[in-house]
């Protein structure tokens, strides 16, 4: 039996007068890949930004309802500690340009002012870069700036950076949308390996990507959760006609 790590309960969110997410009820399973799909503007990004409370950084943001992480409401937690438990990878690779590859992996520690011994640092950097299959490519040039790598390598560096704080969940917001097909495949393979240790929630535009890697798929349309279930089921026998229309490419 799969255990639940995250639970949305009657959750709505938006900005100013705009309601983006409408009464979402959703349970995310531990150590699985859950893909959030749907056409542009359906609230995918807002949904994952609520999970680590990044949504609140916008001054006009609001939310109703609740999200539970391991049965504890995230809105009762200190957002600083919550965010350390939840890694995030963005659409465009965004390594810190003033930090080296080595420092970029440790960015979570550096920014939070957590002091580490030299050996601990070396170990974290090596482990995380191995996890994202970047170690062999960069082990001799760790002092280079993170921005000197190729796009695909930068994105893997950003995934390594999000893994360094040992998160329970990592959120990926269309992580391959700016990458070439080869780098995309590399990242997909990587995510499949990573799910042994961490829960992965990925927003994606790309239907075939979701079918390749996701265990569970949530289909959002105009802020509502239209359908959610095991990936095989959604892709072979969707219950809702809207889901079928989207998957068959009638809109999107």
Residues lying near other proteins in the complex (CB under 8 A): 52, 54, 57, 79-84, 86-88, 90-92, 94, 96-98, 107-108, 110-113, 158, 161-162, 165
Q: In the numeric block, which tokens belong to residue 3?
A: 């255990």
Output 42 or 169, the one with its CB closest to other proteins.
Answer: 169
Smallest distance from other proteins to CB 173, Å: 10
Tokens 């983006």 map to which residue? 20
Burial 114-123 (b: 16+ CB within 10 A, else e): eeeeeeebee
| Cα atoms in the Cβ-side hemisphere of radius 13 Å centred on 213 | 29
Q: Could you tell me the smallest distance in angstroms from the CB atom of residue 83 to other proteins?
A: 4
- Is 88 or 226 the residue whose CB approaches other proteins more closely? 88
In the complex, minimum distance from the CB of residue 174 to other proteins, in angstroms, rounded to a whole number = 12
Burial class (CB in 10 A: 0-12, 13-18, 19+), 174: buried
SS3 of 224-242: the string is EEEEEEEHHHHHHCCCCHH
Cα dihedral value 95, 97, 99, 104, nearest 10: 0
Nearer to other proteins, 43 or 146 (CB): 146
* Residue among 69 and 217 whose Cβ is closer to other proteins: 69
Nearer to other proteins, 105 or 225 (CB): 105
CB of 47: closest distance to other proteins in angstroms? 15
R_g of the chain, CA atoms, integer Å: 18
Give me the least distance between CB of 171 and other proteins, in Å please: 8
Contact yes or no for 37/231 (Cβ under 8 A) = no
């Amino acid at each position: 039996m799969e255990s639940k790590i995250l639970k949305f309960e009657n959750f709505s969110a938006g900005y100013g007068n705009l309601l983006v997410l409408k009464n979402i009820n959703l349970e995310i399973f531990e150590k699985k890949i859950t893909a959030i799909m749907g056409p542009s503007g359906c609230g995918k990004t807002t949904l994952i930004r609520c999970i680590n409370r990044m949504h609140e950084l916008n001054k006009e943001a609001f939310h109703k309802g609740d999200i539970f992480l391991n049965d504890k409401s995230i809105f009762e937690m200190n957002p600083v500690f919550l965010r350390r438990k939840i890694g995030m990878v963005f659409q465009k690779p965004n390594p810190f340009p003033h930090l080296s590859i080595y420092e970029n992996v440790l960015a979570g520690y550096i920014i939070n002012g957590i002091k580490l011994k030299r050996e601990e640092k070396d170990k974290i950097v090596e482990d995380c870069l191995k996890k994202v299959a970047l170690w062999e490519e960069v082990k001799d040039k760790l002092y280079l700036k993170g921005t000197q790598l190729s796009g695909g390598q930068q994105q893997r560096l950003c995934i390594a950076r999000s893994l360094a704080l040992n998160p329970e969940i990592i959120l990926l917001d269309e992580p391959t949308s700016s990458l070439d097909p080869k780098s995309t495949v590399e990242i997909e393979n990587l995510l499949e390996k990573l799910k042994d240790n961490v829960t992965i929630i990925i927003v994606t535009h790309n239907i075939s990507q979701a079918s390749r890697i996701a265990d569970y798929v949530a289909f959002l349309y105009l802020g509502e959760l239209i359908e959610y279930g095991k990936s095989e089921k959604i892709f072979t026998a969707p219950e809702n006609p809207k889901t079928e229309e989207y998957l068959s490419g009638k809109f999107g």
